Amino acid sequence: MEESKIKKALSAFSPLERMVFIGAVLLSFIAALVIISKINSSFMVAVPASGGTLKEGIVGTPRYVNPLLAVTDADRDLTALVYRGLMKEDGQGNIVPDLAQSYTVSENGLVYTFTLSEAYFHDGERITADDAVYTVTSALDPLLKSTKRIEWQGVSARTENEDTVVFTLKAPYAPFLASTTIGIMPKHVWEKVPYENWVYSDFNTKSVVGSGWYRVTKVSENSAGVPHYYELKLYKDNQEEAVLPFIKKITVRFYSNEEALLRGFEKKEVDTIGGINPRSAQYLVSKKDAVILSSALPRIFGIFFNQSQAPIFANAQVRKAVNLAIDRERIINEVLSGYGTPATGPIPASTGLISEPTPAIAQNIQSAKTLLEKDGWSLADDGIYQKSSGNTTTRLSFELATNDVAELKDAVNHIVEDLRSAGIEAIPKVYETGSLNQDIIRPRKFQALFFGQVVSSQSDLFAFWHSSQRIDPGLNIASYANPAVDKMLEQGLQQLDTAKKVSIYQKLASTITTDTPALFVYSPAYLYAVRSDIAGITLNHINRPEDRFANQSTWYLHTDNVWKLFIRD
């Protein structure tokens, strides 16, 4: 009946009126759809969605995808993806539970007890406290020669039950929690392999049985058996869906050098490349091929003085004049393309061990000259200062050794120019890495050395500045000795209270800076090039290259639109 009325009404329209009416109805329908769509959009938000393949490119080839044997960046990158530890770094510099559900520390700081959450190795076997103990006891065995042995010396491990592991230390050691980020290995797999045969096992490569979010599903090799890429897939079996990473597959491709790595990125063989130098980063930015993410590294590059080889450095005024002559900002801008920060002390701010970095030292050539002239130095005809004492004339000149790396050579050249402007002669001496370490640094046969230190924990500071480390194989290359500093370094290693620890290291940094056994020039940044369609990546705290994967679970390639009311705060 209603339909016949509508037809009757339409038939009363002229053809033109009928067309206008139908058009109005269509416009009304379209307008309604637009309104509904806008209303819907206002209540919806894009959220990360599961899926996709990430293609990562790195320099080098892996030999040991094994937490106890990994030695190269390629080894450690893959190990970080394939294994998980009791604890992990969260990308903010904090150590938080990973395979552990929870942990406790005794009041005396000697006993650490971890309760494991439910998780499984890539062959489906449950990860238990026995596996954690086996991992640590294997690291300690001298037959294995593990790179992790030194971290666990003096620590005993035992199981309390299937899900509880207890570590007992001989003395409080503040950095201990960082040691528990070591990847947990499957006892049922490795106990069948004698320690002396571990390095030959396929469990390091093609047959890895890991404990992490990703498992090795394919290793592609060339005719010589050298891998050119690894394929990793998200391991979902018996894992809680809510905590799984979004990216389903990661392909890690290997390149022989950085130049080849850049070509691979430009050819879109890979989507992300890390650890590139500032020049490479600038090139990619100019090509608009990548977004460059950066994070301050806990590394200090500076000039380390050797007073036994160059007596002029026994003079504090000379060391201070050298310090004033260096233009740190120019080095950062021209050598690092801006990817770095001036270093003003022995402890990088990114470590969190100090609350107030020493103020930056601005170049002041005139102040440097004034300091020298008040100390009895006078300019010679060639523009270099000299000092006479009796029949002896000392020229303000020294050799400055460094590594055969473009960045370091460029930095040294800038330093040489700066010092020349202040009447100080620095003669560059460049050495190949092996020769520098074996022939120059270890026997301390240098007058001054432009070199870098990686300072990621209190134990690193102890190795670099405690007087007991002055002789090889110790790493105190400035041969620095100060009993007050020794005491602070020892206290710092045992102090578990964060505020007290920061107070100790703040005073330590001030003391070393005042004594000037070395001059601190810059801290470089870690550079990571990624394509713009990869989201969720943040680089906030990088100690080692593999730390870029610390928050890998938040990375994503796809999104879904969902109503806001379904999003949890």
pLDDT of 239 over the 70 cut: no
SS3 127: coil
Q: What angle do CA 345, 347, 353 make, to 5 degrees?
A: 135
**By percentage, how much of the chain surpasses pLDDT 90?**
79
**pLDDT attached to residue 551:** 87
Rounded alpha-carbon distances, angstroms, from residue 40 to 34, 44, 45? 10, 6, 10
One fold for both 53-255 and 299-525?
no
Per-residue confidence band for 359, with pLDDT thresholds at 50, 70 and 90: confident
Measured from the Cβ of residue 412, the count of other Cβ atoms closer than 10 Å reads 22
Domain residue extents for the chain = 2-42, 53-255, 299-525
Mean pLDDT of 383-397: 94
Measured from the Cβ of residue 229, the count of other Cβ atoms closer than 10 Å reads 17
SS (H, E, C) 55-110: EEEEECCCCCCCCCCCCCHHHHHHHHHHCCECEEECCCCCEEECCEEEEEECCCCC
Cβ(269)–Cβ(55) under 8 Å?
yes
Q: For tokens 């503040």, name the residue.
A: 174
Angle between helices 498-515 and 458-465 (to 10 degrees): 30
**pLDDT attached to residue 2:** 57
**pLDDT attached to residue 287:** 85
- Give the contacts of 125 (CB within 8 A, at least 6 positions apart): 186, 188
Mean pLDDT of 266-275: 96
Q: For tokens 């096992």, name the residue.
A: 201
pLDDT of 232 over the 90 cut: yes
**pLDDT attached to residue 276:** 95
Cβ(548)–Cβ(89) under 8 Å?
no
Q: What angle do CA 206, 212, 216 make, to 5 degrees?
A: 20
pTM of the complete model: 0.86
Concatenate the DSSP letters of all residues of 446-492 into one string. -SEEEEEEE--SHHHHHHHH-GGGSSTTS--TT----HHHHHHHHHH
**pLDDT attached to residue 6:** 59
pLDDT of 31 over the 80 cut: no
**pLDDT attached to residue 9:** 60
Side chain identity at residue 442, one-letter code:
R
* Chain mean pLDDT for the chain: 91
Mean pLDDT of 227-235: 96
CA–CA gap between residue 395 and residue 423 (Å, rounded): 10
Structure tokens belonging to residue 491: 């206290």
Measured from the Cβ of residue 174, the count of other Cβ atoms closer than 10 Å reads 20
CATH number of 53-255: 3.40.190.10
Per-residue confidence band for 137, with pLDDT thresholds at 50, 70 and 90: very high
Q: Which helix (H) or strand (E) holds 511?
A: helix 498-515
Check residue 564 and report its DSSP letter. Answer: G
Q: Across-strand partners of 303?
A: 450, 519
Residue, of 360 and 400, whose pLDDT is higher: 400
**pLDDT attached to residue 27:** 75
Backbone angles phi and psi of 261, in degrees to 5: -60, -45
SS3 272: strand
Q: For tokens 């870690």, name the residue.
A: 526
**pLDDT attached to residue 23:** 73
pLDDT of 18 over the 70 cut: no
pLDDT of 514 over the 60 cut: yes
**pLDDT attached to residue 52:** 95
- Give the contacts of 34 (CB within 8 A, at least 6 positions apart): none
Q: What value does the CA radius of gyration of the chain take, rounded to a whole number of Å?
A: 30
Mean pLDDT of 230-238: 86
**pLDDT attached to residue 312:** 97
Measured from the Cβ of residue 157, the count of other Cβ atoms closer than 10 Å reads 19
Measured from the Cβ of residue 263, the count of other Cβ atoms closer than 10 Å reads 12
Give all strands (DSSP E) within 256-297, no chain letters: 272-274, 291-296
The closest of 522, 546, 549, 523 to 537, measured between CA atoms, is: 549
Mean pLDDT of 214-243: 86
Give CATH superfamily name and number for 299-525.
Dipeptide-binding Protein; Domain 3 (3.10.105.10)
Long-range contacts of the stretch 352-356 (C-beta < 8 A, 24+): 352/93, 352/502, 353/458, 353/461, 353/501, 353/502, 353/505, 354/502, 354/505, 354/506, 354/509, 355/502, 355/506, 356/506
Measured from the Cβ of residue 50, the count of other Cβ atoms closer than 10 Å reads 16
Q: What digits encode the pLDDT tens for the residues 500-513?
A: 999 999 999 999 99
Angle between helices 498-515 and 483-494 (to 10 degrees): 160
Q: What digits encode the pLDDT tens for the residues 301-316?
A: 999 999 999 999 999 9
pLDDT of 564 over the 90 cut: no
Residue, of 16 and 405, whose pLDDT is higher: 405
Backbone angles phi and psi of 276, in degrees to 5: -75, 160
Per-residue confidence band for 11, with pLDDT thresholds at 50, 70 and 90: low
CA–CA gap between residue 502 and residue 492 (Å, rounded): 9
pLDDT of 85 over the 80 cut: yes
Cβ(520)–Cβ(345) under 8 Å?
yes
**pLDDT attached to residue 241:** 59
Angle between helices 458-465 and 483-494 (to 10 degrees): 160
Q: Is the dihedral of CA 502, 505, 507, 513 positive or negative?
A: negative
pLDDT of 242 over the 80 cut: no
Concatenate the DSSP letters of all residues of 196-243 into one string. GGGGG-GGGTTT----SSEEEEEEEE-TTS-EEEEEEEE--TT--GGG
